[in-house]
Structures are given as C-alpha cells and as structure tokens.
Amino acid sequence: MSFFTVANLSYLVAAALFIFGLKRLQSPRTARSGNVIAAIGMAIAIIVTLLETNFANWQMILVGGIIGALIGSVAARAVQMTAMPQMVGIFNGFGGGASALVAISEFIRLLGPDQVMTNESGVSIMAGTIIGTVTFSGSMIAFAKLQNLLTGAPVTWPLQKTLNALLLLAAVGLSVYLVAFDADMTVFLVLVGVGLALGVSSVIPIGGADMPVVISLLNSYSGLAAAAAGFVVDNRVLIISGSRRVSS
C-alpha cells in the first residue's frame, strides 16, 4: 500500500474523529471525551501532514507544539466558566490568524524564482487572507469588549456602513488585481491591512451583550478561513475540518 493511500485513509480517520468528537460536545457528560477524540484526530492529521510534506524542521514544530500545549493547558485551568465566551473569541481569532498566515506564506513562496501563482491558487490565497484577517481582528475586538478592555457600548461614527462597504469593495478589487494582473507584495500588504480594518470596523459598533452572537459568527468565519487554507496548501483534512466548523 502506497504512502499516498495511507495518508488519505489517515485523513479520513481524522475527519471522522473530528465529526464524532464534535457530536459528543453537545452534552456536558460527553464533552470531555469529545475533546479527547477530536484532539486525537488533530494529532493524526498533523503527523500525517508532516510526513506527507517531508517537513525537515521537526525541532521547531516540537517547540511550537509544546508552547501551544502549555498555553492551552494554563488557559483551560485558569479561565473561569463565566469567561468562556471571551476565551472562545480569542481562540477564534488565533484560528483565523493562523489561516491568514498560511495564505500569506504561500503568497510569499509563489513570489520566488521559478514559481507561478495560478488563478486557482490565487483565489484561495486571497480568500484565506481576507477571511483570516477579518476573523482575527474582529475576534480581538470581541474579546476586548467581553473582557472590559474596550467599552461594551457600541462604537459608531458617521458613514460607518459606507466605510465597511468601501473596505469590502477594496478587498475584492485588490484581490482581483493581485490574481489577474500583478502579484505585487506592496499591494498584498495593503490587502492584509484592509482585511484587518474591516474586521475591526465590522465588530466595534456591536454592543457587548451581542458579542456571543458575533463570536458564533466569527467561529464560522474561522472555519471558512481554515477551509481556504486547506485549498491553499492542498490539504484535504483541513478543508473537511474547516467546512465542518462552518456547518456547526
């Protein structure tokens, strides 16, 4: 049996564990085992992805995994249940930011010599960048409001909706330019800035009492960003898990 077949089967097992684990999160009695099952699925997906891509720098991956596990363990034990909404919000932001970084790194890679950005990969990169940056900055604002780092009252200014529409149109226009005409790094950085600004301007006018609803929406955005990142790096389990997060 080829490694390609083994990898695909492993991704299928990981996706099934994600779905089964998410199902068990519906009840407090089974939520802990659901988290464990989903974590096993994620471990399988990470290991197979590293083997499939022949990733050589295992030391950095190990260091990053240890740091992330320590932060997650401390946060899970120290954060009160009443603070769970802001914890979920900041985790959503990290997920969106990670997806954006995947898209950004792939864009930079394709700027290298003997590399060509196809329309298909370009669309995936732009989608991952926009959705990921909007999710990151929007989630940070939601976290800050719930944590009383920002006022919980709506923050508004004249022509705010017009500004949001212009930012969205700018993001689409910049994406079209980067994919169809010129993959320019400066223009791409402007796109990143526009995405971050759009996330802030979209969430900051919403009151703190409605932040849990906003976080739920941003959770779906985080799934979309993960799915887009999956298309960027051609990773099937990332596409499946991101799509499953959107539907949940």
Distance CA 94, CA 162 (A): 28
**Which of 31-35, 188-192, 206-210 is predicted most confidently?**
188-192
Query: Please, are residues 209 and 152 in contact by the beta-carbon 8 Å criterion?
Result: yes
Quick one: pLDDT band at residue 141, thresholds 50, 70, 90?
very high
Extract the tokens encoding 237. Answer: 């389990």
Single out the residue of 16, 8, 105 nearest to residue 48, CA to CA.
Answer: 8
End-to-end CA distance of the chain: 35
CA atoms within 13 A on the CB side of 157: 7
Phi then psi dihedrals of residue 85, to 5 deg: -55, -45
Q: What is the pLDDT of residues 143-179, one digit of tens each?
A: 898 888 888 888 888 998 999 999 999 999 999 999 9
CA atoms within 13 A on the CB side of 206: 21
Query: Please, are residues 96 and 222 in contact by the beta-carbon 8 Å criterion?
Result: yes
Q: What radius of gyration, in Å, describes the C-alpha atoms of the chain?
A: 19
Q: 50: which residues sit within 8 A by CB, 6+ positions away?
A: 58, 61
The pLDDT score that the predictor gives to residue 178 is: 94
Average pLDDT over residues 131-153: 89
Residue with tokens 């849990």: 212
Percent of the chain whose pLDDT exceeds 70: 96
Q: What is the pLDDT of residues 42-90, one digit of tens each?
A: 888 888 888 877 666 777 888 888 898 888 888 878 888 777 888 888 8
Q: What is the DSSP letter of 151?
A: -
Longest Cα–Cα distance in the chain: 63
Q: Name the pTM for this structure.
A: 0.84
Q: What residue spans define the domains of the chain?
A: 1-78, 81-248
Give the mean pLDDT of the chain: 85
